[in-house]
Amino acid sequence: MISGAAPEDRREFPQKIKMMTVAAPPPATVIAGMEAMGISVTHVYGLTEVYGPAVVSAEKTAWQGLSLEERARLKACQGVAYELQEDVLVLDPVTGRPVPWDGETFGEIFIRGNIVMKGYLKQPEETAKSFKDGWFWSRGIAVHHPDGYVEIRDRAKDIIISGGENISSIEVEKAIYSHPAVSMAAVVALPDEKWGEVPCAFVELAGGATVTEEELLAHAHARLAGFQRPKRIIFCELPKATTGKVRKNELRDRARSGVRGD
């Protein structure tokens, strides 16, 4: 059973293959591609500190009547609290109050339950930073949709602040991912004299695919607001952890020291 979903929404759907995805949130285009191949994707989100999956994108019966693209967009949300957690909310980190369920207002994901960690071993200061009023601060920046589903927009450390505007690196990555030549994309902050920092995209192309920086910039620009648009695109093989997750810390270091392609 999954917390936050009605009983009729917990049915099993006939599929050839069922898969669960964790770690970095996959773009809707990736989920749509897998669904087109007969692979049903279940998206979960969590951290080691909360004993793994804490939020799950519980598929609803009504989604089956939607287009592949719309169904993939809904599945790209992280969803509702997993049964093992007491609660998962998106709160304003300053006031501690829930953000509006409008799918637009940013807040931080807060988690509580009896399987959330008690603290970091022999690190009382770090423990104090991670807990407030009984909630664990995930450092994940998200929005709450009207249907009650949570959608991660970024990690706090990955938010790009350009000219006073907060830019979700994930939103920029989604726009780039929608180009058929792109296999993987990661967006980080690039220092900028005028704006403080601007989005810079590191892109790994699909095998045999070609696209120029100008073409990909134009593709992204058509899908993003002016302040969100990446200023540079660097083609290279992305550094990855053993789990396949992109090492954004290495890309941030490259951006700070002067980017270059392979």
- 206: which DSSP letter? P
- How far is Cα 108 from Cα 119, in angstroms, rounded to an integer? 19
Q: What is the pLDDT of residue 259?
A: 60
Question: Where is pLDDT greater, at 30 or 216?
Answer: 216
Tokens of 241: 């952890």
* One-letter amino acid of 88: V
What mean pLDDT do residues 238-260 have?
Answer: 84
Average pLDDT over residues 52-66: 88
- pTM beyond 0.75: the answer is no
∠ Cα 103 173 108 (to 5°): 40
Radius of gyration of the chain (CA): 19
- For residue 189, how far is the Cα from the chain centroid? 16
**110 or 28, which is more confident?**
110
For residue range 117-149, list pLDDT tens digits in order: 999 999 999 999 999 888 999 988 999 999 999
Residue 4 has a pLDDT of 43
The CATH homologous superfamily to which domain 159-257 belongs is ANL, C-terminal domain (3.30.300.30)
- Phi and psi angles of residue 235, each rounded to the nearest 5 degrees, phi first: -90, 125
Structural tokens at position 202: 């590191």
pLDDT beyond 70 at 1: no
Q: Which regions of the chain carry the CATH code 3.30.300.30? A: 159-257
Neighbours of 159 (CB within 10 A): 16
Q: Where in the chain is the domain with CATH 2.30.38.10?
A: 87-156
For the record, the structure tokens of 249 come out as 């810390």
Domain spanning 87-156 has what CATH number? 2.30.38.10
Q: What is the pLDDT of residues 2-29, one digit of tens each?
A: 344 444 444 454 546 888 887 777 788 8
For the cut 90, the answer to whether the pLDDT of residue 239 exceeds it is yes
